[in-house]
Structure 1
Amino acid sequence: MARAIPLERGLPRFSARPRIGTIAKHAVLIAVAVLVAYPFYFMLTSSFKDVLEAARTPPTIFPTELHPENYTDAWNRAPWGRYFVNTIFVSVTVTVLELATACLAAYAFARMRFRGKTILFTVFLATLMIPAEATLIPNYVLMSPSRNGCLGLPCLGWFDSYQVQIVPFIASAFSIFLMRQFFLSIPSELADAARIDGAGHLRFLWSIVLPLSVPALITAGLITFLGSWNAFQWPLIVTSKPDFRPVQVGLSGFRQEAGSSYHLLMAAATFVVAPIVVLFLVAQRYLVQGIARTGIRG
């Protein structure tokens, strides 16, 4: 007669004690999250403090009394409305134009065959290693306010304008690379079916590829919009009038005007950052999808 095996021997055993590695991993993640979130928390809480409490050292964790009027005072001390209009117009225009150029170039690299495609794409990727500061002087000379030319070269004379903040950024090697990787993940059978139906490249791109690429478009658009919204160095150099300056340059000027009124400075910084935070929270699902799918095919 066969010997009976206890039931508990056939069941997997689970340790009630969490693994040390899991605890350490979560502890590191929590520590990093606190380090990243604390500056925003400090900015938000300081924006509701009075002038004395905002300058106190060490800072208080919570405001002893809320002062929402700080936002009204900060808004009335600078032409923030104009700054926001300038920033929104420039950021939206740069995003739309950059996505247009990126989609066309990425489709050519992903779906079309032409001589020198690999070399040209390698050159595009190589430009990612060039720091923005290296192109600062050439762009400055090209956009110089002297319409008669400078350094023997013709200049556009676009200082203090919208186009000087838009034109240099309507093409991005990173956006082209991101969209190309996503286009490569689209099955080639769809292109064959579209070709049989008589669709050309533009028709296939507009009717099939772009609707399937919404996550990548949102990802590239969000990154581009964020970069344009946070632009500081270039607008500071090429603009001198508030009529064309964005919010980041306006915030820098407001810092000098506010002086030791840190509560007003933090209030201004809060409503400058708020639109980007809201935009990210709305689009974060598409952002994750777009980044995840760009690595499906090489």
Structure 2
Amino acid sequence: MATITTTRDGVPRAASQPTRGRPGRGFGTIGGYLGRTILALFFAFPIIFMFVSSLKPDDQIFADLSSLRAFLPVGDISMDNYKDVFDTVPAWRFLANSIGISVLTVVLGILVNSLAAFALSRMRWRGRGFVLAAIIATLVVPFETFALPLLWWANKLPWLVMQNGQPMWTFGWLDSYQVQIIPFIANAFSIYLYYSYFSTIPKGLDEAARIDGASWFRIYRSIVMPLSGPATATVAILTFLPAWNQFLWPLMAVQSENLRPVMVGVQYFFQLDVAWGAMMAYASLITIPVLALFLSFQRAFIGSIASSGVKG
């Protein structure tokens, strides 16, 4: 038996009608997926071309440029270009250097930048606003403008080394691992990102912890950082990519081949006769770790960007 509902004044309500799907909704969904697929393929074409060309000799790469064969693994396919890579450059050494430099830069950057942002956002001290403004102002300064002064200072800084089993102070960081890591640990964007995220965490948690006798570092370690996972993920990803892609600074500051990162190895292929196939193979090798990292953590990457608290 149907039940008739009435309003507060006793007027019968209109019977609810069965909901119907919006016309064209299915077609719109299919069209949206199709458009995104075409867009993804469009942006993937350079990567596909790079991987496919790494399997072809140079003459076939140029012969296939005028057709879709450039994006297909057809023709004279082999792994000879990858063999040539290891004959031309110490690829494994370059990869190990870049992995170590990038990981250390990320880990130390998270620690230093989050501590700086914590002091700026959670603690009250004179000059805090001026320091924050100065840090943000450095975002507009391109690296090329202070690369030479930074190189000069890096050559004057002391470093503790071991000689004949005894510690000894030397001066000059050039041609070392630390010159590729330490200057890039502190990052203005990372500090501002952490600052923005820390500002969204209720400060009442700090007051309650201080009443219980917690120190500022305990608050940072046990309260603020555990609640800042999205910001930390964002900082980690956005720090790893520039560290992995470093080219200008290692080219200026590092001379020893066994200390160089992967990007410097690209110039080894630009000789009088450019080996395009071997260069594509080398580019594929140095792209695979970054591509695998992104595919493995793409959900965390997108989620961290969306919820990191960065406002336009």
TM-score bin, normalised by smaller chain: 0.7 to 0.9
1:226 aligns with 2:233: no
**Offset of residue 39 of structure 1:** 0.7
The residue type equivalent to 1:167 in the other structure is: I
CA distance in 1, matches of 2:285, 2:275: 16
- Paired amino acid for 2:263: Q
Output aligned runs, 1:86-101, within 5 Å.
Answer: 86-101=97-112
The code of the aligned residue for 2:216 comes to H
The residue type equivalent to 1:42 in the other structure is F
Would the alpha carbon gap of residues 203 and 160 (structure 1) be closer, same or farther in structure 2, given more than 3 Å must change? Answer: same
Q: What residue number does 1:217 align with?
A: 232
Match of 2:44, SS state, is helix
Any conservation in 2 of the 1:47–1:70 contact (CA below 8 Å)?
Answer: yes
Aligned residue identity for 1:45:
V
Q: 2:66, 2:269 → 1: CA distance?
A: 24
* Residue 139 (str. 1) matches residue 150 (str. 2): yes
Name 1:268's counterpart in structure 2.
282
| Structure 2 partner of 1:17 | 24
For the pair 1:49 / 2:59, whether they are aligned, the reply is: no
Q: Bigger CA drift: 84-93 or 227-236?
A: 84-93
Counterpart-to-counterpart distance in 2, 1:32 and 1:160 = 43
Paired-residue identity, %: 38
Q: Which runs of 5+ in 1 are unaligned?
A: 148-154
- With over 3 angstroms needed to count, the CA separation of the structure-2 counterparts of 1:54 and 1:22, relative to structure 1, is same
TM-superposed deviation, 1:26: 6.7
Amino acid at match of 2:240: F
Note closer, same or farther for the CA distance 1:180–1:23 as it changes in structure 2 (3 Å cut).
same
Name which of structure 1's ranges 59-68 and 196-205 shifts more when overlaid on structure 2: 59-68
Q: Which residue of 1 aligns with 2:214?
A: 199
Larger radius of gyration: 2
TM-score, length-scaled by structure 2:
0.80
Kindly indicate whether residue 133 of structure 2 is the aligned counterpart of residue 119 of structure 1.
no
Q: Distance in 2 between matches of 1:233 and 1:126?
A: 23
Q: Are 1:185 and 1:296, in contact at CA under 8 Å, matched by a contact in 2? A: no
Does the residue aligned with 1:70 lie in a helix, a strand or coil? helix
What displacement does 1:107 show? 0.5
SS of equivalent residue, structure 1 residue 294: coil
Q: Structure 1 residues 29, 159: CA separation in 2 closer, same or farther (over 3 Å shift)?
A: same
Which amino acid letter does the alignment assign opposite residue 60 of structure 2?
E
Name the residue aligned to 1:151. Answer: none
Structure 1 range deviating more: 124-133 or 211-220: 211-220
The amino acid across from 2:66 in the alignment is P
Distance, in Å, in 2 between the alignment partners of 1:183 and 1:58 is 53
CA displacement at 1:167 relative to structure 2 = 2.2
Pair 136,25 (structure 1): closer, same or farther in 2 beyond 3 Å: farther
Report the Cα offset of residue 30 of structure 1: 5.0
Task: Report the Cα distance in structure 2 between the residues aligned to 1:31 and 1:63, rounded to whole angstroms.
Answer: 20
- Using the alignment, how far apart are the partners of 2:143 and 2:198 within structure 1? 27
Match of 2:47 in 1: 40
2:85–2:91: 8 Å Cα contact kept in structure 1? no
How far, CA to CA, are the matches of 2:251 and 2:120 in structure 1?
Answer: 35
User: How far does the alpha carbon of each residue in 1:167-197 deviate from its partner, in whole angstroms, 9 at most, with x for none?
Assistant: 2112100010111122222233322332232
Match of 1:58 in 2: 66
Q: Give the Cα separation in 1 of the matches to 2:300 and 2:74.
A: 40
Cα separation, partners in 2 of 1:286 and 1:184, compared to 1, 3 Å? farther
**Greater CA drift, 24-33 or 188-197:** 24-33
Report the Cα offset of residue 79 of structure 1. Answer: 0.7
Match of 1:284 in 2: 298
| Root-mean-square deviation (Å) | 3.1
Between 1:287-296 and 1:129-138, the stretch displaced more is: 287-296
CA distance in 2, matches of 1:222, 1:272: 17
Selected match of 1:179 from 185, 194, 207? 194
With over 3 angstroms needed to count, the CA separation of the structure-2 counterparts of 1:188 and 1:69, relative to structure 1, is same
- What count of residue pairs does the alignment treat as equivalent? 285
Query: Which piece of structure 1 moves more, 39-48 or 93-102?
Result: 93-102
SS of equivalent residue, structure 1 residue 199 = coil
* Residue 255 (structure 1) shift: 3.5
- Cα 1:122–1:25, aligned 2, differ >3 Å: closer, same or farther? farther
Give the drift of 1:200. 1.0
User: Unmatched 5+ residue regions in structure 2?
Assistant: 1-12, 159-169
- Aligned position for 2:164: none
Match of 1:82 among 85, 93, 104: 93
Deviation at 1:232, TM superposition (A): 0.5
